[in-house]
Amino acid sequence: MTATTRQEQLAAIFKSATVIPVLTIDRLEDAVPLARALVAGGVRVLEVTLRTPVAADAAKAMITEVPEAIVGIGTILDADDLARARALGAKFGISPGATPELLKAAAASELPFAPGIATASELMQALAAGFDLVKFFPAEQAGGIKALRALAGPFPNILICPTGGIGEANAATWLAEPNVVAVGGSWLCPAADIRSGNWAGITAMCARTLKSLKPA
């Protein structure tokens, strides 16, 4: 696969998503019902973060048992995490930041990958490695929409997925920015709902959110 094809695949996944839930899964048995609940609410592109001991097994279970979900791996911190994501069969990888080593490994990998950036210099390093779709993290805390617009000045062709501090109240404002392809966040799957198995509540929240962001 060429780097262009890989970037096109990444952009297509993010554009189809509108919202990408950032999932932290503590119990393996929650993985499949959670993915089904999200998909039932119209949210198909999922980021399973490598933040818990069961994360990789949870992602694997979702990939195997919920084929309608487009499962990516988040919190990729190094080349080993990236290789793990690819071996699991993830459709994409995403990071809160990047290191030169991670960018090099991702440039050599076929896995569509979105590095994280919060400054112009970080964005320049991502672009130099061939990555023009990036996660802007932590979006609200790193300057919000004003910072995004300032970055779009010198870098008009980048595509952005902001994450960090985004929720039901401000998702539409971010999505109205021309460079924003999708927004990410943990608000679509509150830890308390996962813990209590409130799958219907998660489905309802997803459906409500998508309806408000993409009115028929």
Interacting residues with ligand 3PG (CB under 6 A): 22, 96, 137, 163-166, 184-187
Which residue's CB is nearer to ligand 3PG, number 65 or number 195?
A: 195
Give the shortest CB-66-to-ligand 3PG separation in angstroms: 21
Q: How far is the CB of 213 from ligand 3PG (least distance, A)?
A: 15
Amino acid of residue 204 = A
Report the C-alpha gap between 14 and 101 in whole angstroms. Answer: 24
**Contacts by residues 169-174 (CB-CB < 8 Å, ≥ 24 positions apart):** 170/140, 171/19, 171/209, 171/213, 172/212, 172/213, 173/145, 174/139, 174/145, 174/148
The verdict on whether 168 is a catalytic residue reads no
Give the shortest CB-5-to-ligand 3PG separation in angstroms.
26
- Nearer CB in complex with ligand 3PG: 130/165: 165
Other Cβ atoms closer than 10 A to 27: 13
Q: Are 85 and 106 in contact (CB under 8 A)?
A: no
Kindly state the smallest distance separating residue 164's Cβ from ligand 3PG, in Å: 4
Nearer to ligand 3PG, 8 or 142 (CB): 142
The residue of the chain with the least Cβ separation from ligand 3PG equals 185
Neighbours of 119 (CB within 10 A): 12
Residue 91 annotated to the active site: no
Q: Which is nearer to ligand 3PG, 22 or 61 (CB)?
A: 22
Exposed / middle / buried, residue 121 (Cβ in 10 Å: 0-12, 13-18, 19+)? exposed
Task: Write down the catalytic residue from 60, 91, 135, 140.
Answer: 135
Q: Which residues carry out catalysis?
A: 47, 135
